[in-house]
Amino acid sequence: GAVVSQHPSWVICKSGTSVKIECRSLDFQATTMFWYRQFPKQSLMLMATSNEGSKATYEQGVEKDKFLINHASLTLSTLTVTSAHPEDSSFYICSAQTGATNTGELFFGEGSRLTVL
């Protein structure tokens, strides 16, 4: 089945630094990718929709200047948390749509756990 990979799977950084998380679709082309954030014991919260070659669409309340999303190719989207602070510590998950099928499945990455000290 389709595979979505995230890197790194976990990262620890100092407050004020920026962190980049990569999301790759390994065996299919994804015109659309989604980024989610999940705090402990809570559900996934959609942050933004990323379309290849265009600007991301952010959900209400998500700061686009803080969470930079780039979708430069059909197999790669990146999320950069700029000037990270401890409240940005969370589990970040990406997902990708398989445009080549009509099953409508959305595949998720393994997640990236960010800890900001």
Partner 1 sequence: DAKTTQPPSMDCAEGRAANLPCNHSTISGNEYVYWYRQIHSQGPQYIIHGLKNNETNEMASLIITEDRKSSTLILPHATLRDTAVYYCIVRVAPDDKIIFGKGTRLHILP
Interface residues with partner 1 (CB under 8 A) are 4, 6, 32, 34, 36, 43-46, 49, 91, 93, 95, 97, 102-111, 113
Which of residues 44 and 68 has its CB atom nearest to partner 1 in the complex? 44
C-alpha triplet 44, 78, 62: angle, nearest 5°? 45
C-alpha triplet 105, 48, 52: angle, nearest 5°? 70
**Residue in 91, 78, 82, 39 with CA at minimum distance from that of residue 63:** 82
Q: What is the closest distance, in whole angstroms, from the C-beta atom of residue 75 to partner 1 in the complex?
A: 17
Which of residues 49 and 82 has its CB atom nearest to partner 1 in the complex? 49
